[in-house]
Structure 1
Amino acid sequence: MAKKPIKNQNLTIRMDEKTRFALDFLVRLEGQNASKLVERIMLEKADASYFGHYNKHMERKEYNWRDIWHVSEGVRHLLFITHPGVKAEIHLTFEEEEMAEFVQRHWPFFCSSDRLYSFIAPYVDILWPHMDALVAEWREHKATDPWRAGESMKAILESVDVAPPVWPPKSNGDDE
């Protein structure tokens, strides 16, 4: 039998008396507790909210949060910062942009292609706890040793008996 999901995220909100009364009214009307009601309303709002971008044919492609949701925290974060629709409409922080560039440069450790469409969850799950240090290492050495962070990622994967991708990547004739 499946276990009931454990909820470990908290949200604290401040409300005036009118809003609190409206919440209590909805709770009674819907027959749900306040947490369940707020969760449901947020998901309904997110399902109805879209973002997008124009492709090279000037056609708008629409997405919502479900297009970038993944159960893996690392995959979810990388999907968010590399998604073309997100990059077109949502302002990323400098750190997010830098991580997206890191992932693009080191794509064999994260994706099945340099287009960053299909993330390899087992690789991401292993590397995710080390991402801040890996990006810092890349930032510090990219001008003098551009393959260094990749070698560190290879070592991390090998330390847990996972075969790493070929690194450095084979040149396809294009210069970086």
Structure 2
Amino acid sequence: MSTERKRKRPQKSESLTIRLDPKMRFALEFVARLRGQTITKVIERAVMEDAENAYVTDGGRNIKGNWSIYWDVNDGVRAIKLASDSDTHPSFEEDEMLDFIKVHWNYFSFDRKLLTLRRDNLDILWPEIENLIETWRNCKATNRKYCASLMRAMLVEAGLDEKSWAPSNMDDERHLVDPADASIPF
């Protein structure tokens, strides 16, 4: 049983491989030696110090905050927060992910603006987000409701009921079709 528990626990740290020239490697080992720390600890503290002083601004004038306003233990929450803020310069993949989430907002958030995220749903859906986006790419032109049905099935299988995805005062899937597209006769 203890072996089973160890396998299910999330990893507390991750490995990072970096290339250093001999001079930089020596400097790093020197600092670690003087401080009585490991090389890892020296790097962690240097990165954290730099991160504490790296601020996101709204177009360069007003400081919104540093890394800590985006941090969350939930991978999905972190990714959505970063992708939602244009000042963090989201990549194409993050834009595409955010577009998918905005179309299917009721599975990920309590509101269209993604201000209050559905953490239970993210725990279930996020590990499959890349597959869901790929499926959405392949089926959105022919069956816009298919991904919604997949996500509902995943949530139900995990023991969540309709309250975990039903938008308030709105038909469950009406938002999946853009009203402007509804008038196009093809």
TM-score band by shorter chain is 0.7 to 0.9
TM-score normalised over the length of structure 1: 0.80
* Residue aligning to 1:65: 67
C-alpha separation in 1, matches of 2:158 and 2:136? 22
Secondary structure of 2:109's aligned partner: coil
Match of 1:125 in 2: 123
Secondary structure of 1:112's counterpart equals: coil
Q: Percent identity?
A: 34
Tell me the TM-score normalized by structure 2: 0.76
1:147 aligns with 2:145: yes
What is the DSSP-based 3-state SS (H/G/I as helix, E as strand, rest coil) of the residue aligned with 1:26? helix
Question: Cα deviations across residues 38-81 of structure 1 (Å, max 9, x unaligned)?
Answer: 01110111111112325xxx973523211111111222222222
Q: Which residue of the partner structure matches residue 49 of structure 2?
A: 44
Q: Residue 24 of structure 2 aligns with which residue? A: 19
Runs of 4 or more, structure 1, over 4 Å off, are: none
Assess, with a 3 A threshold, how the Cα gap between structure 1 residues 19 and 81 changes in structure 2: closer, same or farther: same
Q: Which residue of 1 aligns with 2:93?
A: 95
Q: 1:84 to 1:116 in 2, by over 3 A?
A: farther
Decide whether aligned partners of structure 1 residues 91 and 154 sit closer, same or farther in structure 2, where only a CA change above 3 A counts.
Answer: closer
1:135 aligns with 2:133: yes
Contact 1:112/1:120 (<8 A) preserved: yes
Offset of 1:98 from its aligned partner?
1.0
1:114 is paired with a residue of what secondary structure?
coil
Is this contact kept in 2: 1:63–1:85, CA < 8 A? no
Q: Structure 2, unaligned stretches of length 5 or more? A: 1-9, 167-171, 181-186
User: What does residue 183 of structure 2 align with?
Assistant: none
* Match among 32, 39, 45 for residue 37 of structure 2: 32
Counterpart of 2:6? none
2-structure distance, mates of 1:141, 1:128: 19
In structure 1, runs of 5+ residues without a counterpart are none
| Paired position in structure 2 for 1:85 | 87
Deviation at 1:6, TM superposition (A): 6.0
Which position in structure 2 is the counterpart of 1:158? 156
Structure 2: which amino acid aligns with 1:141?
C
Which amino acid is the alignment partner of residue 62 of structure 1? K
Shift, 1:108, TM fit: 1.0
